[in-house]
Amino acid sequence: MTDTIVAVATAPGRGGIGIVRVSGPKVPEVALGLIGELPPPRHAVNRAFRNDRGEALDRGLALYFPAPGSYTGESVLELHGHGAPWALSAIVERALELGARPARPGEFSERAFLNGKLDLAQAEALADLISAGSAGAARAALRSLEGEFSARVDSILERLTALRTEIEAGIDFSDEALELAAMSALDVRAGDLVADLEALAREAEQGRLLRDGVVVVLAGRPNAGKSSLMNRLAGHEAAIVTAIPGTTRDVLREHVSVDGLPVELVDTAGLAESPEPIEAEGIRRARTVMDRADLILYLVDASDPAARTSLIADVKTLPEVPVTVLFNKCDLLSEAQSRSVAAEGARLPAPALLVSAHTGTGLEALKRRLLEISGYAPGAGGTFSARRRHLDALSRTAAHVSAARRELARTGAQELAAEELRLAQESLGEVTGRMTSEDLLGRIFSEFCIGK
């Protein structure tokens, strides 16, 4: 925190504008060496950015934000020049000569957190906003950045602290047992906390889905139409499609959006025994990605009776992952055949749909299935961005509060209940960073880009 750091804050490559950001106690020296003066606070001045020989490296706007009224809480200098990579690199080199050092990934935001400008959930939301892949994800990240998620967490944490304080105060009078009415009131308050934590976790899960999305693997025997379905869902020719079995030999990935939910589609090699080494490796990779999927769409050629006959045995070989069977090529079936296939699907150990990658039949039902299995609710108002670690912290907090309730109800052991509430406080404090570890901070801020 005593170092002065510098980095390019704009994206790599050429652009109309490029920004170099400097933060730390040596900002006045860096400003003097680069532009000849320290600009007036929060006023943009047009200056040449010069090297140690006084030669102009670039010309643009310089802005100075004195501590503590800056993004990082430290003195900050921003130099807005042209987006030529050479010029930006030269400005950074000059700042290094003047006593700065290169910033680590996310170090500007880490300093903002350590200086109380952002809590941890807001800092993560900033990274989520930068990397948002959809309008919904961006809106959710902005809500978290503005403190909506943190405010909900802080409200519960305040009530949790008050409950723990009241129970611990009673420990000082251990010779007086808690009255039944007081015990009942404490239990009600603890129950309300658990309910609110579970409600917050459900909302946070929606934000996590917007951020992380789901992985959907297309699997099945050769020529079941997996690549055709990927192309139909992607809206373009993402995979090569031929009538030759075994065309797809490697894992192909494509990202699509289903009512705002990010979905990573994974096309795989056809599942069949093969003596051919390359095809066998493709099948091995297919089974590996299936193990890590959120959902497997197992395609079968509905017009092939032999493929339908082996379907139950094929599904039993799949990993313990939610599976939906897709009877593809239903456009080739008569109405009577479609009813017969639908009846076969009803007897399967997994949900089944009739679809056609060729005509698009059944794809709306398939999209509804994707939303159902993921638990995502399109158009949910007020969604904020969240991460798996937030959900884990909320789950552990609720578990500790529930344990405190059990201790009070079973034995009236205030000491044990108070300890469970202390553990609940620690778990919930991890969300916003009130209670965290150096390792956790390092992992979080390492995900940021250098200039942030």
Q: Are 28 and 95 in contact (CB under 8 A)?
A: no
pLDDT band at 168 (very low <50, low <70, confident <90, very high): confident
pLDDT band at 165 (very low <50, low <70, confident <90, very high): confident
- Identify the pLDDT of residue 274: 61
- Find the helix or strand (DSSP H, E) in which 59 lies: strand 56-65
Buried/exposed 130-156: b ≥16 CB within 10 Å, e otherwise: eebeeebbbbbbbbbbebbbbebbbeb
pLDDT band at 278 (very low <50, low <70, confident <90, very high): low
The pTM score is 0.75
Asked whether the predicted pLDDT for residue 381 surpasses 70, the reply is: no
Average pLDDT over residues 341-360: 89
Residue 85 has φ and ψ, to the nearest 5°, of -55, -40
Residues with Cβ within 8 Å of 399's Cβ and at least 6 positions away in sequence, in order, are none
Distance of alpha carbon 197 from alpha carbon 246, whole angstroms: 49
pLDDT band at 389 (very low <50, low <70, confident <90, very high): very high
Q: What is the pLDDT of residues 96-136, one digit of tens each?
A: 999 999 999 999 999 999 999 999 999 999 988 888 877 88
Length of the chain: 452
Domains present along the chain, CATH in parentheses: 5-117 (3.30.1360.120), 125-209+387-433 (1.20.120.430), 214-374 (3.40.50.300)
Alpha carbon separation from 91 to 10, 15, 340 (Å, rounded): 13, 16, 72
Asked whether the predicted pLDDT for residue 439 surpasses 90, the reply is: no
Distance of alpha carbon 28 from alpha carbon 64, whole angstroms: 9
Average pLDDT over residues 192-197: 96
Distance of alpha carbon 309 from alpha carbon 365, whole angstroms: 24
Under DSSP, the state recorded for 136 is H
Q: Where are the beta strands (DSSP E) in 334-388?
A: 352-354
